[in-house]
């Protein structure tokens, strides 16, 4: 989405709002009124979809901390068409334990708050079976398509806190 407005109009409005008295148009550099200013609004392309995989088990308990903790995943769930937060979205997480096996103690479900914000903490995932270290995520919300994706911490770096925005596609 792009917004367009006159540079001169914006400058005069700001000057007036700040209480600059006696500011005349001659004090502002000449800019043709037809010259638009283009302002980009936050871009929210849909988050890429991934496979659910064989380790998914429905019904992960509601909890925001699993394993030994210390590795934080947080972000905002947004509607990819309007870039608005999605409150109440359900996010299921699952990852392997410290020995490379999936277990119930490394599964959890969180819900986004009124601003679409979520936070989940686990141990830093490890690589296993020749694959990259990762955390699985399944996001559902009424009026949106299910999103299954994953986080690859080694691609993000060594930080122990990562911001993962999730953009859902409207649909059934």
Count the alpha carbons within 13 Å of 79 in the hemisphere toward its beta carbon. 15
Tell me the per-residue pLDDT of 115-153, one tens digit each, with 9 for 90 and over. 999 999 999 899 998 999 999 999 999 999 999 999 888
* pLDDT at res. 33: 43
Is the pLDDT confidence value at 4 over 50? no
Report residue 4: phi and psi, to 5°.
Answer: -135, 135
* Residues of the chain above pLDDT 90, percent: 52
CATH no. for 71-168 = 2.60.130.10
Burial 1-18 (b: 16+ CB within 10 A, else e): eeeeebebeebbeeeeee
pTM for the whole structure: 0.73
**Nearest to 147, CA basis, from 97, 112, 114:** 112
Tell me the per-residue pLDDT of 59-102, one tens digit each, with 9 for 90 and over. 999 999 999 888 899 999 999 999 999 999 999 999 999 999 99
Tokens of 132: 């990259």
Q: Rounded to whole angstroms, how far apart are CA atoms 15 and 9?
A: 10
Is the pLDDT confidence value at 3 over 50? no
Q: What mean pLDDT value characterizes the chain?
A: 78
Q: Rounded to whole angstroms, how far apart are CA atoms 6 and 73?
A: 41
Q: Rounded to whole angstroms, how far apart are CA atoms 105 and 94?
A: 9
Q: Rounded to whole angstroms, how far apart are CA atoms 90 and 116?
A: 10
Tokens of 122: 């686990």
Going by pLDDT thresholds of 50, 70 and 90, the confidence category of residue 39 is: very low
Domain boundaries along the sequence of the chain: 2-40, 71-168
């Amino acid at each position: 989405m792009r917004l367009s407005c006159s540079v001169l109009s914006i400058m005069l409005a700001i000057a007036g709002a700040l209480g600059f008295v006696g500011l005349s148009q001659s004090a502002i550099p000449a800019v043709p009124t037809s010259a638009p200013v283009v302002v980009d609004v936050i871009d929210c392309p849909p988050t890429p979809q991934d496979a659910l995989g064989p380790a998914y088990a429905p019904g992960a308990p509601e909890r925001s901390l699993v394993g030994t903790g210390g590795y934080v995943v947080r972000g905002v769930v947004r509607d990819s068409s309007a870039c608005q937060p999605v409150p109440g979205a359900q996010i299921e997480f699952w990852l392997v334990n410290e020995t490379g096996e999936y277990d119930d103690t490394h599964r959890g479900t969180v819900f986004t708050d009124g601003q679409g914000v979520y936070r989940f903490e686990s141990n830093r995932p490890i690589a296993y079976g020749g694959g990259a270290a990762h955390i699985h995520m399944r996001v559902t919300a009424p009026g949106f398509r299910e999103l299954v994706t994953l986080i690859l911490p080694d691609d993000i770096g060594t930080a122990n806190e990562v911001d993962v925005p999730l953009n859902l596609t409207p649909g059934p």
